[in-house]
Structure 1
Amino acid sequence: MRATAPRTQHGFTLVELLVALGVMALIAMLGWRALDGMARTQEVVQRHTDAALALQAGLGQWGADLDAMASVPHTVPIDWDGRALRITRRSSAVPDTGLVVAAWTRRGVGGSGEWLRWQSPPLTTRGAWQQAWQQAAAWAQNPGDAERGAEVPVLPLDDWQVFYFRGNAWTNPQSSAGTDAGADASAAPNASATAPEGVRLVLVLPPGQAATGRIVRDWAQQGSNPNKPS
C-alpha cells in the first residue's frame, strides 16, 4: 500500500492578522463617526426646536398680554417709552385676582441682547397700580434684585421696535400722533389714556437661531381692522 503523507494545517500569518485587525479598526472608526454625526445632528435639531418653541411661547405671551389689556379709569392701558412696553392687563388667574402690570424690554446680557418680560403681583387699588407702573419703568432702566426676581428671559434678541396704529396709519408711539396726555399716570392721575387700535412688534433675531432676521407681529383690538401695509 502507498503511504499517505500527513496533511499540513496552516493558520493565519502575522500579516493576515494585522490586516484583519486594521479592517476591524477601520469599520469601528467609521461606525463611531456615524454615531457621532447622528448625535451632533440630533443636538442641533434639539437646539433649533427649543429656540422655535421659545419664540412661539414669547409671541404667544405677547399676544395674551395685549388681548387682556384693560382700560380702567385713572390708569394707563399701554405705554412705550422707547425702552419698555408697559401694559395694564387683567390677571390670568382663576378666579380673577384683579389687574397686573406686565412689561417687556430688551437688555444686554453678556455681550448679547435678550428679550425679557416682567409682571407685578395682582393689584387691587389705584395706589398699588401706580407703584407697579413706576416699578416696571424702573425695571427696564436699572433693575434691582427685587425687580430681577420677577423677570423671565424669553429669547435672544438683537433689536426691537414698537409701533401703534392710530389715525389710519402706523406711527411711532412717542410721536405727537401716538402720545396720550395720560401716558404718565403720576403727572395726570385723573386722566385715562386710550389704547391704540393696533400694536406692531418688530423683532430682529440674531443669527444661529431657529429663526433669524426680522420678524413682524401685528395685533389689533377686537372689532378693529387696521390697514396693515405690506
Structure 2
Amino acid sequence: MRPSRGFTLIELMVAIAIMALLALMSWRGLDGMARAQAQNRERGDTVLTLQTTLTQWNTDLDATVALAQVRAIDWDGRVLRLTRRSTDNATPMVYVVAWTLRADAAVGARWHRWQSPGVTSRPDWQQAWDQAAAWGQDGNAQAQGADVSLMPVAAWQLYYFRNGSWSPAVGADELGAATPEPDGIRLVLSLPPGPALAGMLTKDWVRPSATAPKS
C-alpha cells in the first residue's frame, strides 16, 4: 500500500488565502448591493414626497376661489396665501392656505404648508388671512390650523402668466386690488445637493378657467 500524501503548509496557506480573497470579494459585493438598495430606497422616498407635495400644490391652486371682497391669491415674496374652496360640497366653507420656506437646522431649509380651519364668514376669513401672513413670516405658533413640513428646498421663485407672457410674481398690493388673478403660476424650486434629487425643478400650473388668447 502506498502511504497517503497530505497537504503541505504552503498549499494550506495558499488555500486559506484564496478562501479569504473570495470571502472579501463576496462581502464587497454584498455591501455594494446593500448600498445600492439603500440609495434606491432613499431616492424613491424622495421622489414620492416630491410628487405628493406637487400634487397638493396643484390641488390648492385648482381649488382657489375668488369671492366678493375676498382675495384668492397673494404673494409677498416670502409666503404665498390662497383662498380655496372645500372639497365637501355638503359643507360650504373656504380655507386659507399658505406656503413658505423656513430654515431647518438639519437640511438648511424646508418647504412648509399651512391650512386654516374652515371659515364661513368674512371676519373669520380675514382673521385666518392675517394669521397666514404672520405664520409665513415668523412661524407664528398661535396661528390655528395645520402646519405640515414637506420637503427640503434651498430656494423658490414664482412667476405669473398674464397677457400672454411670464413675469416675476408680485403681490396684489403692488399692482392694485383690481388686478385680475394670474392665468398661470410657474413654480421654480432649487433642490439642495443630496444623494437623491438636486438641481432646479420647474412646475407650471394653468388656471382651469383660463382661455387661450386669440391670435
- Report if TM-score (shorter chain) is over 0.5: yes
Give the alignment's TM-score, normalised by structure 1.
0.81
Listed as ranges, the matches of 1:29-178 within 5 Å are: 29-93=24-88, 95-96=90-91, 98-110=93-105, 112-147=108-143, 150-174=146-170
Shift of 1:125: 1.8
TM normalised by structure 2 equals: 0.87
- Deviates further, 107-116 or 59-68: 107-116
Q: Does 1:12 align with 2:2?
A: no
1:72–1:56 Cα change, 3 Å: same
Q: In structure 1, what is the Cα distance between the partners aligned to 2:211 and 2:72?
A: 19
Percent sequence identity over aligned pairs: 44
Long gaps (5+) in structure 2? none
Distance in 1 between the 2:186 and 2:102 partners? Answer: 20
Does structure 1 retain, via aligned residues, the 8 Å contact 2:93–2:120?
A: yes
1:151-203 C-alpha deviation (Å, 9 max, x unpaired): 21222111111122223332333278973327xxxxxxxxxx74222212111
Q: How many residues are treated as equivalent by the alignment?
A: 212
| 5+ long unaligned stretches in structure 1 | 1-5, 183-192
* Shift of residue 94, structure 1, vs aligned partner: 6.9
Residue 25 (1) aligns with residue 11 (2): no
Structure of higher RCO (CA pairs closer than 8 Å, 6+ residues apart): 1
Note the alpha carbon deviations across 1:35-81, whole angstroms, 9 max, x for none: 00001011111111111112211111111100000111121111001
After TM superposition, the structure 1 stretch with the greater mean CA deviation from structure 2, 199-208 or 27-36, is 199-208
